[in-house]
């Protein structure tokens, strides 16, 4: 059921992008293949159509790698970023010495890309698209100007995030994590690749912002690797979580088919520290529940497969317990929800399709809790902040290598 609903959501998203492209340029399908769904799942197209400042310069840069050869020979205008890079989806990165400059880009008769700056040949180095080994998911190792609109803090102020250095540091961890999910949770991996096209690893203080997950850049999973200790266990957890947002956005794209009440109905207000308060509505809580579900699937599968050494297993178990507790709290929030001080039932909150997803999540929670609770209940989680932090976990739960 979930797989088919995700496919339906993706189809609706694709159709919407096609309509938006046609409205922008009624001749657009003369230069790109109307039937090639890869094009219409390009996350930067979602970002483009959700950016008030977008212009045709951005659009044809996004589409260039998907254009037919005649259109590529004719060429387009592009603009390099502050580091002299031009990113072409489906092709790669053109690395130039011309920072923040408009350039002419075209292919010659031998299909070689040429760049012109002020009418003269501009030298460049091509760095091809980097796919994570054994997957078709792209690793975005440099910042992209069009995505900067989503890097904002809790007060909606744009912030700088570090991407290049942290991406290099964690490529092996991301690769191992994604391949472990593929090997030991293959059905869930199929859902991930159905909706997720690119991964961004970034580094920013979580007091500024915890996550950049957004339907406005659908198809991109954003992981904040801000703790120095992060390893493949974190990425199994966080890839499951962040791609869970992407999958859930596709799954519930037509939200009224899943939630009956106003999705902005507030269920909880959280104090995150530093005078930061986060309000959580039914849509946010439903999202969160689904990400706990995806994290249960992936962590449980890897623990069962005995792929971790003692320390990493200890961390994985700690993370599992952390999410069991969170999931329990959010299930309780939903099941004790009230509007105007009146308790409302699940059938008042969710449609039949929504209830199917809700009970899938709840059933997985029950299975994981029953399976692991005797081992996990000895853990003391009292010093854990909003995000699981292993070095704090070890302070109260030292590793006994004889028992883990």
pLDDT in tens, 191-230: 999 999 999 999 998 777 777 888 899 999 999 999 999 9
pLDDT in tens, 9-63: 999 999 999 999 999 999 999 999 999 999 999 999 999 999 977 777 799 999 9
Q: Residue range 148-163: average pLDDT?
A: 87
Dihedral sign of CA atoms 183, 184, 185, 186 in order: positive
Q: Is the pLDDT of residue 271 over 70?
A: no
Residue 14, C-beta contacts closer than 8 angstroms, at least 6 positions apart: 37, 40, 41
pLDDT in tens, 299-332: 999 999 999 999 999 999 999 999 999 999 999 9
Return the pLDDT at 275: 61
pTM to 2 decimal places: 0.93
Q: Is the pLDDT of residue 158 over 90?
A: no
Q: Residue range 291-305: average pLDDT?
A: 98
Return the pLDDT at 21: 97
Computed on alpha carbons and rounded to an integer, the radius of gyration of the chain in Å comes to: 23
- pLDDT band at residue 342 under the 50/70/90 scheme: confident
Q: Is the pLDDT of residue 281 over 60?
A: yes
Q: Residue range 272-298: average pLDDT?
A: 86
pLDDT in tens, 78-133: 999 999 999 999 999 999 999 999 999 999 999 999 999 999 999 999 999 999 99
- pLDDT band at residue 274 under the 50/70/90 scheme: low
Return the pLDDT at 278: 67
**Residues of the chain above pLDDT 70, percent:** 97
Return the pLDDT at 339: 80
Return the pLDDT at 341: 81
- pLDDT band at residue 154 under the 50/70/90 scheme: confident
Q: Residue range 246-254: average pLDDT?
A: 95
Q: Is the pLDDT of residue 401 over 70?
A: no
């Amino acid at each position: 059921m979930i797989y088919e609903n995700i496919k339906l959501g993706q189809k609706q998203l694709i159709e919407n992008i096609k309509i938006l492209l046609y409205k922008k340029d009624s001749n657009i399908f003369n230069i790109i293949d109307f039937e090639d769904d890869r094009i219409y799942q390009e996350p930067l197209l979602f970002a483009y159509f959700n950016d008030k400042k977008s212009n045709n310069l951005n659009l044809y840069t996004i589409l260039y790698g998907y254009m037919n050869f005649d259109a590529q020979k004719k060429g387009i205008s592009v603009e390099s970023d502050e580091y002299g890079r031009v990113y072409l989806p489906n092709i790669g990165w053109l690395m130039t010495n011309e920072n923040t400059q408009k350039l002419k880009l075209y292919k010659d008769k031998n299909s070689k890309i040429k760049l012109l700056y002020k009418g003269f040949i501009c030298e460049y180095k091509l760095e091809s698209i980097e796919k994570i080994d054994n997957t078709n998911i792209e690793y975005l190792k440099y910042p992209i100007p069009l995505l900067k609109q989503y890097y904002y803090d809790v007060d909606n102020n744009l912030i700088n995030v570090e991407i290049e250095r942290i991406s290099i540091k964690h490529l092996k961890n991301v690769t191992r994590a994604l391949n472990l999910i593929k090997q030991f949770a293959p059905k869930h991996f199929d859902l991930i690749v159905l909706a997720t096209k690119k991964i961004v690893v970034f580094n920013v203080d979580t007091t500024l912002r915890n996550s950049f997950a957004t339907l406005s850049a659908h198809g991109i999973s954003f992981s904040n690797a801000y703790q120095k200790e992060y390893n493949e266990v974190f990425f199994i957890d966080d890839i499951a979580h962040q791609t869970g947002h992407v999958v859930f956005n596709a799954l519930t794209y037509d939200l009224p088919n899943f939630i009956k009440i106003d999705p902005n109905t507030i269920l909880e207000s959280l104090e995150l520290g530093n005078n930061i308060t986060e309000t959580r509505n039914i849509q946010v809580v439903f999202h969160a529940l689904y990400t706990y579900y995806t994290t249960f699937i992936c962590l449980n599968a890897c623990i069962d497969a005995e792929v971790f050494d003692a320390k990493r297993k200890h961390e994985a178990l700690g993370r599992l317990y952390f999410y069991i507790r969170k999931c329990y709290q959010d299930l309780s929030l939903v099941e004790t929800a009230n509007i105007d001080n009146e308790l409302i039932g699940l059938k008042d909150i969710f449609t039949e399709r929504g209830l199917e997803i809700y009970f899938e999540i709840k059933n997985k929670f029950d299975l994981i809790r029953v399976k692991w609770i005797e081992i996990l209940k000895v853990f003391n989680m009292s010093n854990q902040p909003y995000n699981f932090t292993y070095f704090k976990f070890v302070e109260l739960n030292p590793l006994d290598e004889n028992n883990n």
